[in-house]
A and B are shown apart, each in its own frame.
Chain A
Amino acid sequence: MALLSVTDLSVFIGRLKPLDGISFDIGKGEIVGMVGESGSGKSLTAMSVMGLLPLIGGKMTSGSIRFDGIDLATLPEPHYRALRGRRIALISQNPMTSLDPIIRIGAQIDQVSILHLGLSDAAARARSIDIMQQLRIPEAATVHGNYPHQLSGGMKQRVVIAMALAADPELMIADEPTTALDVTIQAQIIQIVVDLVRERGLSLLLITHDMGVVAQACDKVVVLYAGRVAETNGIDAIFGEPQHPYTRELIRCIPRHDQLRGSLTGIPGAVPSVMDYPSGCRFHPRCADALDICAGAIPALEQKAAGFAACHAAINAAGKVSAHG
């Protein structure tokens, strides 16, 4: 059974509907990548799962989010609080949104296990230092006494990850955890997180726009486009046999060093805005495979091969949509 199961999730912010019928599962011990361009709804999905929609005036209008059998959509806030940070942890893009600049690093990590696990100050400190060492923070005991401004961006992000791990969560949601960092640091941190997640058998929802990171780290991928799921599929199928034309084109947009010059063309048109979504399939104005039906009818997310795709063309011409390389 899936640890997290999101079914037909729709969210309104005012009169706008930035999430429209999102469905996906995360199994125990699974690393699921969530990809999509800006405005596709990646971060909003994360906020929905964390129960943080009220903070931005969002409202879940349909669907369900089940975590280990608990319906999060109807969970009263006090119960949510016992879950959030304890069993589900969030790592955000900018470490400084998670760290208090005037409190020592150590106190901030300790606090998590004191609050959620009921540890004593001394036990919490030992636990924090142990986790910091696992995250390969050099001189962890010294860093424990430092303030956030004394650390580099990469170290700060490791501290945030240590905070996320401190309460021994079952599910971690990492929202673009390395986007603000340099490439060498990014590579290290992704590697450390993936190793730790695998070692501890945690589930991870990794939100990113970097298909390279997805290819190297994930078991499964959810591809979002303009507030809807275009495709969910296993990692090999996403790169080898994508079912949705958007997935296929997205992969063709990644520059490869062995690629012929002039072969990088991108997807024509622009990512639509939530204020002005096209009718029918939201990708149809940019889609090379679009049929007449695509402008009129919204394609349902249907089983296709081992995954799910929301595409009239893929369903009609089963098997014809394949990677062009």
Chain B
Amino acid sequence: MADEAQAQLPSDNLVAVRDLTREYKSSGGLFSTVRSMRAVNEVSLDVPRGKVTGVVGESGCGKSTLARLVLRLIAPTAGRVMFNDTDLASLAPAQLRKLRRSMQMVFQDPYSAIDPRYTIRRALLEPFEVQGVALGKGEQEDRLLALISKVGLSPRMTESYPHQLSGGQKQRVGIARALALSPSFLVLDEPTASLDVSIQAQIIGLLEALKQELGLTYLFISHDLSLVRYFCDRIVVMYLGRVVEILPGARAEACHHYARTLMDSHFVPDPRHRKAVTPLVGEIPSPFNLPPGCAFAERCPAASPLCRRERPLLSEHATGHLVACHHPA
């Protein structure tokens, strides 16, 4: 997968992922043997500075595992993550801890990670505590108010508890927490999946404004295809732990047959353009028992004997457009 590394000069990329793999083993019971599966399998991708890189795929494709690997919240089985040209694996724990200020995560459910007994004030000051950033009393207050207003919350809310906030307000607190230590890179893991549409649009609008204002770089994990098309500069499509296609722009046509079906399966919100969806035949193979060739071959209309024998590598189809398919559309 060297071709993709050369596609862009390293300095253009804030984050570069190379051959990243994470293996999980099933605990073999009394009568079964231990089996292993790769939730993320030899994934290589670049996250260009100042851009939004989207990762899409269905449940079990490995997108959330990838998000956690990129931030090294979990350790990879193999492969590297480079942040600002520094290999995260090469860092001593203290150095990695310090670097974490620059890379933060926004979760789908921000409050599953925060103590429900914490006030908003305490939740927002916690990152400074954890990172050992000593703040004077006045400075604390300044930072707090700056964060609160940055995400569009009212200063009156600092003494509120999570249960007093709506879903949208909670996610704003989640974003404020991620921004506390002035990061340059945010991983957004389905940040609006549990919100109502009117609130989802607010949060996406806020994330766009913050990106402009603070010059942030995003890795945006989502299963919402229309949202990804709207929000992202590049789109990475995953299937069963592997990257099958990287689209260079939000409007680029997918060439991989799975990516194409996936991108076509969202319903266009326009009654004047009704269309029949092409159903995907068959079921996703078990990740514990992958076929030798292309993992999508059994469901693919264009599959040939070659596809069942030999796994297609991710290669450049057009400038910046990478596809892992023997017979791209």
Contacts and interface: CB of A to CB of B under 8 A. Distances in A.
Interface of A: 37-38, 136, 152, 182-188, 190-191, 209-218, 235-236, 238-239, 249-259, 261-262, 264-268, 270-271
A223 B200 CA distance: 18
B229 A267 contact: no
A186 B201 contact: no
Nearest to A255: B230
Interface of B: 58-59, 166-169, 196-205, 208-209, 212, 223-227, 229-231, 250-251, 261-262, 265-272, 274-277, 279-280, 283
Contacts of A264: 201, 204-205, 208, 230
Nearest to A235: B271
Contact of A270 (B166, B224, B230, B267): B166
A255 B229 contact: yes
Contacts of B271: 215-216, 218, 235-236, 238-239
A185 B59 CA distance: 11
Contact of B226 (A185, A212, A270): A212
Given A254-B269, A255-B231, A183 B199 contact: no
A250 B197 contact: yes
B266 A259 contact: no
B199 A266 contact: yes
19 contacts: A183-B223, A184-B262, A187-B266, A188-B280, A211-B269, A212-B267, A212-B269, A216-B268, A217-B267, A236-B272, A239-B272, A252-B201, A255-B230, A257-B250, A262-B212, A265-B201, A266-B201, A266-B205, A270-B168
Contacts of A270: 166-169, 199
Contact of B277 (A38, A191, A262): A191
Nearest to B168: A270
A37 B196 contact: yes
A16 B209 CA distance: 39
Contacts of B267: 187, 190, 210, 212-213, 215-217
Given A183-B223, A239-B270, A254 B280 contact: no
A264 B44 CA distance: 31
B277 A267 contact: no
A257 B226 contact: yes
A191 B276 contact: yes
B58 A183 contact: yes
A97 B327 CA distance: 42
B57 to A, nearest CB: 9
A262 B205 contact: yes
Contacts of B223: 182-183
Contact of B198 (A238, A256, A262, A267): A267
Nearest to B60: A182
B201 A267 contact: yes
B186 to A, nearest CB: 17
Contacts of A268: 202
A280 to B, nearest CB: 19
B266 A212 contact: yes
Contact of A184 (B169, B250, B280): B280
Nearest to A40: B196
A56 to B, nearest CB: 22
A255 B205 contact: no
Contacts of B251: 257-258
Contacts of A253: 197-198, 200-201
A214 B283 CA distance: 26
Contact of A182 (B59, B197, B229, B279): B59
Contact of B265 (A187, A235, A255): A187
B285 to A, nearest CB: 12
A269 to B, nearest CB: 9
Contacts of A212: 226, 266-269
A136 B204 CA distance: 37
A188 B267 CA distance: 11
Contact of B261 (A37, A184, A186, A250): A184
B208 A267 contact: no
A213 B272 CA distance: 13
A52 to B, nearest CB: 24
Nearest to A249: B198
B198 A37 contact: yes
Nearest to A152: B283
Contacts of B202: 265-268
A187 B223 CA distance: 13
A182 B58 contact: yes
A252 B197 CA distance: 10
Contact of B197 (A37, A136, A258, A261): A37
Given A38-B196, A191-B277, A210-B267, 4 more contacts: A209-B196, A256-B226, A256-B229, A257-B251
Contacts of B199: 37, 266-267, 270-271
Nearest to A271: B196
A266 B276 CA distance: 29
A128 B168 CA distance: 44
A209 B199 CA distance: 13
Contacts of B196: 37-38, 209, 271
Contacts of B250: 257
A211 B261 CA distance: 20
B168 A183 contact: no
Nearest to B212: A262
